[in-house]
Amino acid sequence: MTTRLFTEEDRYRLGHLLLSEDARSAVPWHYLDELEWQLETTRTAEQSAIPDDIVTMNSTVRLVSSDGMQEVLRTVVYPEYVELTDMAVSVLEPLGSNLLGRRVGDIIEWEERVDEGPWHVAELVFQPERAGKFAL
């Protein structure tokens, strides 16, 4: 597994989200602890310097199951935006926090779909920083 990389902006905003009462009351503590640990230990880069194959907040990724039989698109969003699209996954859910900071080519576990085995981050369909959208 490769080392994760977050944008400085994502780290800042997620740090504040983790301190919010909404997050603390809605999400199991061990998910929050894992994301907090990631925020504390993961390297960061300025938004303009983030490589174009890194999953950042509001990125859309194409995931392929280990057997190649399943393929899905997911967009990593803040919890308040989950209802806006069918393919959204909150960064506070295990899949969302597991995707954040990953690179195209990484293998991830998806708790809800463990029967399909590990998943491959096959493509970064959209990354705000690559598109010059730094305010998303």
Tens of pLDDT, residues 14-70: 999 988 888 888 888 888 888 889 899 999 999 999 999 999 999 999 999 988 899
Residue 131: inside a domain, yes or no? Answer: no
Is there a domain that residue 104 lies in? yes
In a domain, 97, yes or no: yes
Tell me if 135 is assigned to some domain: no
pTM over 0.75: yes
Top pLDDT among 7 and 28 is at 7
Residue 133 lies in a domain: no
Is pLDDT of 136 > 70? no
pLDDT tens digits, 82-102: 998 889 999 999 899 999 999
Does some domain include residue 51?
yes
Range of the domain at 106: 5-126
In a domain, 53, yes or no: yes
CATH value at residue 13? 3.10.50.30
- Pair 11, 39: CB distance under 8 Å: yes
